[in-house]
Structure 1
Amino acid sequence: MKLFQRKISIPAYLIVIVLVFGLLGVYSVWGQQDVVKGTEAGNAAEAAEVDPIVNDVKKVVWWHSMSGENGQVVDRLVTNFNAAHKDIKVEAVFQGSYFDSLTKLKASIGSNLGPTMMQVYDIGTRYMIDSKAITPIQSFIDQDKYDVSQMDEAILNYYRVANTLYSMPFNTSNPILYYNKDLFKAAGLNPDKPPVLYTDLAQVAKKVTRDGVAGAYFGTHSWYMEQFIANQGAELVNMGNGREGLATEWQLNGEVGVKALTWWKGLIDSKAAIHSAGKSDESKKMFAEGKVAMIFDTTAGLRDILDSVDGQFEVGTGFFPKPAEGVGGVVVSGASNWILNSKSDAEQQAAWAFMKYLSEPEQQAFFHVNTGYFPITEKAYELPIVQDNMKQFPQFKTAIDQHNAAKQNQATQGGVLGVYPEARKLTENAIGQALSGEKTPQEALDAAALAINAKIDAYNKMLK
């Protein structure tokens, strides 16, 4: 017992060492607790805390929003790249929806806990530029003398602002019309001639509507309204669609926007279309069940829709509708990859190498046939895997033809503004108010524009 009563003399320097390592341990735990916020963000943060260059292997952490089957395709691309590049290790980390992943990125800016490379949806472009947290892709292109002529010019133009390409396009889509060819035949319509004009679509919707079957069901997505006005050659925001300077005014409440929403409401009032309470998930379900003849959805959803229908009827695809007049076209949508400037030059160069790999015809062809997003590289269309897929699923060709048919101008180049996600939410609320009859289309869009313009003004003042 005396052994435990003996006073133990510990040198002061040992006490200091113990305390220092103890505090470092606590700090490490705190850091890990902060990082694990959000879907699978813990893995990304852990990767960020490790020295990015170990034994000459450069680590690239890529945050993305590709889930389900699309996520599996992304994992395959990463695995193949890592196998061919022993000096680089890419770690792909799913971060939830586009909105969620951008929110997490915003929280990480100013620290070293963010990724090397980030997939951001198209409407996040202005924010990413203004964040000052990125290295423009243009600088890597200029340094490498990288040939961008191999890539689709219209897609590149969306991510170009003031003649600078800020990010590398990755997954590209646009909205198309999906329709039930069997229901068209039953109504005496030509199943190979989908409606293109507003008036034609309204007439078709009425003809196919019967007990248990609605002519159309369009989710209340702001994206559709944005495409409606671009298809008429109108710009979403002022200042050359936000490309000649910071936008100060949302213009969806102009004549063409009101015309589109009034037509949409007319479909519902005539009982030829279902009033949607949400964006689009329910419409896809009802379409697959044969309860709706026509829906809008992204081209990237084609394979999922075909799988859901499972041969119960023949699925047709057509261009996004427009009025008889108009010299526009659809706007490029999807997402691009950005390089964060918080990482070392070596790590950024490794991310650039991975981006170039993703843009190769072979990778774009593989990505296209397995997801539905169309290639950003022209030569991908020449590869047998793409040509064979087009023969088996001719519906894929619609999105490509629609994309190529779009007139190249600032309207179809797409709008850029720093509060785009917020603007979409307010617009979707306005669409719901108009379709339900709570407000007229003009009143609903005017109210939304007023609120959006206030947000734009606050954003611009913050930048100054």
Structure 2
Amino acid sequence: MKTRSRLNRTNLTAALLAAPMLLLAACGKEGASTEKAADAASSKDLVKVVYWHSMGGEMAKTVDKLVSDFNSSHKDIQVEAVYQGSYDESLNKMKASMDSKSGPSMIQVYEIGSRFMIDSKAITPVQKFIDMEKYDVSQLEENIAGYYMVDGKLNSMPFNTSNPILYYNKDMFKAAGLDPEKPPATFEDVAKAAKALTKDGQAGASFAIYGWFMEQLFANQGAELLNNGNGRTSLATESQLNSEAGVKALTWWKELVDSKVALNLGRKTDDTKKAFAAGQIGMMLDSTASLRGIVNSAEGKFKVGTGFLPKPSDAKEGGVIVGGASNYILNNKSEAEQKAAWEFIKYLTAPEQQALWHINTGYFPITKKAYEQPSVKENLAKFPQFQTAIDQLHATKLNKATQGAVMGVFPEARQITENAIEEALNGKKSPKEALDAAQKEITAKIQQYNKTVK
């Protein structure tokens, strides 16, 4: 009996000790199941946004930083940034993916791809989301948003934005008896300054053969590059490249080269920048996005001055057109994915992110309040030359000329324009002859494109 009793007690004790263990084990299984279920639910609720962009080098690092910060603060959305090469390469990849869902949720497209993106019917205009939540577009820079406003709506959200300014060597100006604090403002002023600067193996100026510069010289004269309100009133059907504004700009450019006060260094802006940094030329045109690099390359050698894009002394009221790119949302993705892409776009547009983007890349902030950020104020104190770019943007009156042209064949048109400039500068054709031929070729391409759209 005692033995049996001891055994029963032992069994009871073991059972009592085992019970909590079994309970813990059961709880452990239930906890693991709950965690797995939560993870599955979390994974199910997570929306992935694939973002194709064309920002290489240091700019890619800034894109990755913005994406990482967004992902950290948005647990329900995961953005994956994928570099797709140049703007042309990225757009071609997007075209190839349009019949499937293998493409991105959103894509960065250069400004001259605007008409194609609209005509592709592959996008959901950001205006849809703006209207849905009454998003305040007045916080955006009018002259930047204005470019991407077509048919009364904002089709994409501006992202990286720049315009061209005149860069000049202040030390060369001083040595030539010119006022280093007074940059030339007109075609005539540039010609005079270039003449004074040309000596001792140095040339007064050099402008890269870049179609963007010609487009800007049109806008700065208040002239439209295309008919039908620069393609904004209705689809453009003709180029106006050979109009008075074009002939005047190219004649001035050619006269500078012919009189040997300006060098023709070809199409690469990098070659012009190298010559400027080496003190071989006194003036050049380049993007505001290049400002930091240009100032840094001259450090310890000479001081860099900046001025507005020059124009003829008798020009009509004009200004500059923004360059760069914007972000589009693709419409072949789910509504949840498109909304998530919109959340990312809003994040990129906020003053804090625009300040980070501006400081690290040199592109304009697209949001006015970004200029109130302490970091932007500090950067402006370090690079006061950038004030020229800001002032030029704000001095531009928004009209059809300064909004910029829109056409579906813009990349090809720019190449044709560069061919014409090259022919004129090399003496193969007069400026008028070169532009007449280019105008016909571009017009033919526009009309062919319009037929495919219809």
Q: Which residue of 2 aligns with 1:454?
A: 444
Shift of 1:170: 0.7
Amino acid corresponding to residue 361 of structure 1 in structure 2: P
Which stretches of structure 1, 4 residues or longer, exceed 6 Å deviation after superposition? none
Larger Rg: 2
Cα distance in 1 between the residues matched to 2:202 and 2:95: 45
Amino acid corresponding to residue 70 of structure 1 in structure 2: M
Q: Which residue of 2 aligns with 1:22?
A: none
Cα distance in 2 between the residues matched to 1:190 and 1:203: 12
Shift of 1:211: 2.4
Q: Which residue of 2 aligns with 1:374?
A: 364
1:149 aligns with 2:138: yes
Q: Which residue of 1 aligns with 2:373?
A: 383
Cα distance in 1 between the residues matched to 2:187 and 2:93: 40
Decide whether the 8 Å contact of 2:371 with 2:377 is kept in 1. Answer: yes
Deviations 1:134-154 (A, max 9, x none): 001000111111111111112
Shift of 1:303: 1.3
1:413 aligns with 2:417: no
Shift of 1:307: 2.5
Q: Which residue of 2 aligns with 1:31?
A: none
| Pairing of 1:263-302 with structure 2 (within 5 A) | 263-302=252-291
Cα distance in 1 between the residues matched to 2:265 and 2:219: 23
The residue matched to 1:91 in structure 2 has which SS? strand
1:258 aligns with 2:233: no
Cα distance in 2 between the residues matched to 1:147 and 1:110: 34
Cα distance in 2 between the residues matched to 1:450 and 1:384: 51
Q: Which residue of 2 aligns with 1:342?
A: 332
Shift of 1:110: 1.5
1:192 aligns with 2:181: yes
Given candidates 374, 388, 402, the residue that maps to 1:398 is 388
Given candidates 88, 97, 119, the residue that maps to 1:108 is 97
Shift of 1:302: 0.8
TM-score by length of 1: 0.87
Q: Percent identity?
A: 63
1:166 aligns with 2:158: no
Cα distance in 1 between the residues matched to 2:107 and 2:297: 31
Between 126-135 and 404-413, the greater mean CA deviation after superposition:
404-413
Decide whether the 8 Å contact of 2:143 with 2:396 is kept in 1. Answer: no
1:84 aligns with 2:73: yes
Shift of 1:440: 0.4
Cα distance in 1 between the residues matched to 2:359 and 2:130: 27
Q: Which residue of 2 aligns with 1:352?
A: 342
Cα distance in 2 between the residues matched to 1:213 and 1:76: 42
Q: Which residue of 2 aligns with 1:364?
A: 354
Shift of 1:275: 1.3
Shift of 1:329: 0.5
Shift of 1:212: 2.3
Shift of 1:429: 0.4
TM-score by length of 2: 0.89
Q: Which residue of 2 aligns with 1:125?
A: 114
Deviations 1:291-348 (A, max 9, x none): 1111111000111212222332111111100011220100111110000011111111
Cα distance in 2 between the residues matched to 1:189 and 1:377: 37
Given candidates 132, 136, 154, the residue that maps to 2:125 is 136
User: How many residues end up aligned between the 2 structures?
Assistant: 412
Q: Which residue of 2 aligns with 1:17?
A: none
Shift of 1:412: 0.4
Cα distance in 1 between the residues matched to 2:177 and 2:360: 35
Amino acid corresponding to residue 158 of structure 1 in structure 2: Y
The residue matched to 1:296 in structure 2 has which SS? strand
Given candidates 425, 430, 449, the residue that maps to 2:420 is 430
Shift of 1:157: 1.2
Shift of 1:188: 1.1
Cα distance in 1 between the residues matched to 2:277 and 2:60: 23
Decide whether the 8 Å contact of 2:227 with 2:236 is kept in 1. Answer: yes
Amino acid corresponding to residue 259 of structure 1 in structure 2: K
1:332 aligns with 2:330: no
Q: Which residue of 2 aligns with 1:179?
A: 168
Decide whether the 8 Å contact of 2:146 with 2:398 is kept in 1. Answer: no
Shift of 1:54: 3.8
Amino acid corresponding to residue 237 of structure 2 in structure 1: T
Cα distance in 2 between the residues matched to 1:443 and 1:151: 42
Q: Which runs of 5+ in 1 are unaligned?
A: 1-52
| Pairing of 1:46-65 with structure 2 (within 5 A) | 54-65=43-54
The residue matched to 1:212 in structure 2 has which SS? coil
Shift of 1:254: 0.3
Q: Which residue of 2 aligns with 1:304?
A: 293
Shift of 1:279: 3.3
Deviations 1:65-104 (A, max 9, x none): 1111111111111111111111111111111111221121
Root mean square deviation of aligned Cα: 1.0
